[in-house]
Amino acid sequence: MLRFIFGRLAVLIPTFIGVSIIAFSFIRLLPGDPVMLMSGERVMSPERHAQIMTDLGLDRPIYIQYFDYLVNLLHGDFGSSIVTKRAVLTDFMQLFPATIELSLCAIILAVALGVPAGVLAAVKRGTWLDQTLMGTALVGYSMPIFWWGLLLVIFFSGYLGWTPVSGRISLMYFFPQVTGFMLIDSLISGQAGAFKSAVTYLILPTIVLATIPLAVIARQTRSAMLEVLGEDYVRTARSKGLSPFRVIGVHALRNALIPVITTIGLQVGVLLAGAILTETIFSWPGIGKWMVDSVFKRDYQVVQGGLMLIAAVIMIVNLIVDVLYGFINPRIRH
């Protein structure tokens, strides 16, 4: 098992270097530079432009900039934002918990609803229930997140007044950020009603962000279940007279879950991509919104640093999924 884990870890190194090259060059390929955008409509003289580019070290040959960047990265220095002048890592650490909190809630919701829906659709294959569930999943999968989010806000927050519109917690609560996870911090704060407020603010963004993964998981579970349900060992289990619940829940589902877990792991990337839009709609102070703003401002340091950190997180999650996979299915290890 240890060898398997080390093997997986070794693959990460070239991937990490590859990502650093892409992260570094991607933002620089876009036309325009951050200094030009600083002054907006007011034209900056070429001399001043050149001076600021020099101050920021952006006038050096690109490969020197890259190697400098790489050396700094190895020292754990992700640089400072060109715009806000704050350290990229500090901002990331402050904003990332918000994204994780939202993503975790979304994936839990997606799994909690998606797996049972998929199982149900597979068991009731071809019935109206199957068609309804899969039809809904298809609609969910095709829904443009921005539109869907706005629709929910207008209906639930605007019309019914059940949920707050946007933010992480009511502004009347103010306490220091200890873990960065609002649900935990609000509990620690001891302020009455804070936790409840944090939960209500999580509802709509969680639903919006969970929609696509939920649809994917439901469809994947259904097809995996259908395959497994036709296997001999399931028929054997049934003929032994086991209860349908035991046959489906233990014999079939456990095996059907292998591809589903892979799918869930892959959804992490989808979640982070979805987080960009979800965070923008719900003014959720996470890294998605932060990255988008930075791309528009050509804040090279934030974009490349942010991409590296996000890539690192996705790689680690994929590694964990691989290891889990190895646990569930010992054949994979060899």
Partner 1 sequence: MKKLSTLLAATAIATLMAGSAWSKTLVYCSEASPEGFDPGLYTGGQTFDASSRTVYNRLVEFKHGGTELEPGLAESWEVSADGTEYTFKLRPGVKFQTTEYFTPTRELNADDVIFSFERQYKADNPWNKYVAGASWEYFAGMGFPDLIQSITKVDDLTVKFKLKQAEAPFLANLGMDFASIMSKEYADKLAADGKMELLNQQPLGTGPFTFVAYQTDAAIRYKANPDYWAGKEKIDDLVFAITTDAAIRAQKLKAGECHIMAYPNAADVAELKKDENLTILEQEGLNVSYLAYNTLVAPFDKAEVRKALNMAVNKQAIVDAVFQGAATVAKNPIPPTMWSYNDKIEDDKYDPAAAKKMLEDAGVKDLKMKIWAMPVARPYMLNARRAAELMQADLAAIGVTVEIVSYEWAEYLKLSSAKDRDGAAILGWTGDNGDPDNFLDTLLGCDAVGGNNRAQWCNKEFDDLMTKAKATADVAERTKFYEEAQVIFKKEAPWNTIDHSLVFVPMNKKVTGFVMDPLGIHRFNGVDIAE
Q: How far is 87 from 94, CA to CA, in rounded Å? A: 11
Q: Which of 6, 160, 239, 331 binds partner 1 (CB under 8 A)?
A: 160
User: Rounded to the nearest whole angstrom, what is the least distance from the CB of residue 274 to partner 1 in the complex?
Assistant: 16
Minimum separation from the CB atom of position 193 to partner 1 (A): 7
Site track for partner 1 across 263-282, x = CB under 8 A:
-----------------xxx
Q: Which of the residues 6 through 35 are near partner 1 (CB under 8 A)?
A: 30-33, 35
Give least dist CB 87 to partner 1, A: 9
Nearer to partner 1 by Cβ, of 108 and 154: the residue is 154
| Residue 148 binding partner 1, by CB under 8 A | no
Nearer to partner 1, 69 or 282 (CB): 282
The mark string for 88-127 relative to partner 1 (x by CB under 8 A, - otherwise) is ---x--xx--------------------------------
Q: Which long-range contacts (CB under 8 A, 24 or more apart) does 61-66 make?
A: 62/25, 62/28, 65/24, 66/21, 66/24
Q: Which of 76, 126, 161, 330: binder of partner 1 (CB under 8 A)?
A: 161
Out of 12, 22, 36, 258, the only residue in the binding site for partner 1 (CB under 8 A) is: 36
Provide the minimum distance between the beta carbon of 105 and partner 1 in the complex, in angstroms, as a whole number: 17
Site residue total, partner 1 (CB under 8 A): 56
Dihedral over Cα of 33, 35, 41, 43: its sign: negative
Q: What whole-number distance in Å separates Cα of residue 42 and Cα of residue 35?
A: 12
Stretch that binds partner 1, among 36-44, 137-145, 209-217, 266-274 (CB under 8 A): 36-44
Is 171 one of the binding residues for partner 1 (CB under 8 A)? yes
Q: Select the residue interacting with partner 1 from 114, 118, 164, 305 (CB under 8 A).
A: 164
Q: Closer to partner 1 at the Cβ: 99 or 267?
A: 99
Residue type at 196?
Answer: K
Per CB under 8 A, contacts with partner 1 among 295-314 are: 298
Does 177 help bind partner 1 (rule: CB under 8 A)?
Answer: yes
Q: How far apart are the first and last CA of the chain?
A: 9
Residues 56-95 that bind partner 1 (CB under 8 A): 56, 80, 82-86, 91, 94-95
Candidates 65, 77, 104, 167; binder of partner 1 (CB under 8 A) is 167
Which residue, 14 or 31, has its beta carbon nearer to partner 1?
Answer: 31
SS (H, E, C) the chain: CHHHHHHHHHHHHHHHHHHHHHHHHHHHHCCCCHHHHHCCCCCCCHHHHHHHHHHCCCCCCHHHHHHHHHHHHHCCCCCECCCCCCEHHHHHHHHHHHHHHHHHHHHHHHHHHHHHHHHHHHHCCCCHHHHHHHHHHHHHHHCCHHHHHHHHHHHHHHHCCCCCCCCCCCCCCCCCCCCCCHHHHHHHHCCCCHHHHHHHHHHHHHHHHHHHHHHHHHHHHHHHHHHHHCCHHHHHHHHCCCCHHHHHHHHHHHHHHHHHHHHHHHHHHHHHHHHHHHHHHCCCCCHHHHHHHHHHCCCHHHHHHHHHHHHHHHHHHHHHHHHHHHHHCHHHHC
Residues at the interface with partner 1 (CB under 8 A)? 30-33, 35-45, 48, 52, 55-56, 80, 82-86, 91, 94-95, 150, 153-154, 157-158, 160-162, 164-168, 171-172, 174, 177, 193, 280-283, 285-286, 289-290, 293, 298
